[in-house]
Amino acid sequence: MESERIILIQQYLSRYAVEPPGVTIKQVREYIRENSNLTDASVQTIRRDLEALSMLEDIRITNGAHNTAYYQYVSGGFTFNEIRFLVDSVSINKFLSDGAKQKLIKKFEGLCSEQQIRMLISRIHLTHQTPSSDLLNNLDIIHRMIAEKRRINFEYGKNDLRGEMHYQYKDRNFVPAEVVYFENRFYLRGVNPETGEPRTYRIDRMRRIKEGEQVKKVPKLPKQEGAVLDMFGAERQADIVLRVKRTLVDEMQEQFGRNVNIRDDAEHADCVLVRARVGISRNFTSWVLRYGGDAELLEPADLREEMREKLAALLGKYQG
């Protein structure tokens, strides 16, 4: 009975006594009477419970008017701003259904006071949403297999011309190493332990995941240098120079991070020169072309020539 009362007091403090000045012993007694079938405890008993609880929890005691003691619960866990950030992150997650979001948000509300819960009502919402009911389950299974150092096998889906997903199963002889979130999608990266060849798969396209045998050691993934523009692996690394319009400066800094070097272009007042170390993949050309005439690849020379040839072939398709 004593332990039940202390638990009830702790719940009350964490919910209603997080804002100064806190609550009084009288308020604690009223809460216990209204929310339990416990025998009415005396003021001395409640005070003793609060002192015992203060040994485990951070409870601040202050004296108010008429020598009334106020007990404030000072949480050592999430701050309210941290909880709001987590709730907003759940709200904008396009992989969760509305029902799954509400369940998670309710759990966060259990860490808040009544006043804070009212402040959480205003949340961020997506204008478009394509939730995947399998994603969380896939992530749970994959993280467990990474921890247990197990090979993984699964069916992997690809869309046909009508947009219907078709799945195919095969033994991939693949050891998962890490989960990466890149451009609004979750990816699984791993290695074939026999060949050392890296592999990357979209987790939302996996199903019927099966665990394989354990391995003694998870092979290390090849270290990626410079900016990552494509999740499916770089063929080589290169130091590139781009001439871009000044309006793209902020986007270039966001894309390449701290390692980017941006300088004025002496030949073009409305442009800057962007230098960065980049992983060159098959999609690099497409990435540059997304900026149209606002970006020009200057170096390396061989990559510029490769882009010129692709553009000439593209132009040929539209001539005549």
pLDDT tens digits, residue range 5-37?
Answer: 877 888 888 778 878 888 999 999 988 888 887
For residue 171, tell me if it sits in a domain.
yes
For residue 207, tell me if it sits in a domain.
yes
For residue 7, tell me if it sits in a domain.
yes
Q: Looking at residue 2, what is its pLDDT? A: 64
For residue 222, tell me if it sits in a domain.
no
Residues 204 and 274 in one domain: no
User: In whole angstroms, what separates CA 152 from the centre of its chain?
Assistant: 23
Residues 202 and 271 in one domain: no
**Is it the case that residue 135 has pLDDT exceeding 70?**
yes
232-237 average pLDDT score: 73
Mean of the per-residue pLDDT values of the chain: 81
Tens digit of each residue's pLDDT (9 = 90 or more) over 48-72: 888 877 776 678 888 888 888 898 8
User: In whole angstroms, what separates CA 75 from the centre of its chain?
Assistant: 24
**Is it the case that residue 1 has pLDDT exceeding 70?**
no
Residues 144 and 182 in one domain: yes
Q: Looking at residue 129, what is its pLDDT? A: 47
Residues 142 and 173 in one domain: yes
Tens digit of each residue's pLDDT (9 = 90 or more) over 264-307: 999 999 999 999 988 887 778 888 888 988 999 999 999 999 88
Beta bridge partners of residue 274, listed in sequence order: 242, 262
Tens digit of each residue's pLDDT (9 = 90 or more) over 71-87: 888 765 667 777 777 77
Which amino acid is it at 283?
N
Comparing C-alpha atoms, which of 298, 303, 301, 305 is closest to residue 241? 298
How many other CB atoms sit within 10 Å of the CB of residue 39? 10
For residue 97, tell me if it sits in a domain.
yes
Tokens of 288: 């540059």
For residue 223, tell me if it sits in a domain.
no
Residues 246 and 202 in one domain: no
**Is it the case that residue 107 has pLDDT exceeding 50?**
yes
Q: Looking at residue 280, what is its pLDDT? A: 83
Query: What CATH number does the domain containing 170 carry?
Result: 2.30.30
100-121 average pLDDT score: 76
Band of pLDDT at residue 128, cut at 50, 70 and 90:
very low
Q: What is the pTM of this model?
A: 0.53
Residues 210 and 269 in one domain: no
Query: What CATH number does the domain containing 284 carry?
Result: 3.30.70
In this prediction, what percent of the chain has a pLDDT beyond 70?
87
33-46 average pLDDT score: 84
Distances (CA, A) of 120 to 83, 104, 107, 110: 9, 13, 13, 12
| Dihedral over alpha carbons 264, 266, 272, 276 (to 10 degrees) | -80
Query: What CATH number does the domain containing 29 carry?
Result: 1.10.10.10
**Is it the case that residue 240 has pLDDT exceeding 50?**
yes
Q: What's the longest Cα–Cα distance across the chain?
A: 95
Tokens of 286: 């497409």
167-193 average pLDDT score: 83
Which amino acid is it at 20?
P
Q: What is the spatial distance between Cα 80 and Cα 85, in angstroms, rounded to a whole number?
A: 9
- Could you tell me the residue range of the domain that residue 108 belongs to? 80-119
Total domains in the chain come to: 4
| Helix (DSSP H) and strand (DSSP E) numbers for the chain | 10, 11
Q: Looking at residue 296, what is its pLDDT? A: 94
For residue 229, tell me if it sits in a domain.
no
Residues 314 and 254 in one domain: yes
Q: Looking at residue 20, what is its pLDDT? A: 83
For residue 304, tell me if it sits in a domain.
yes
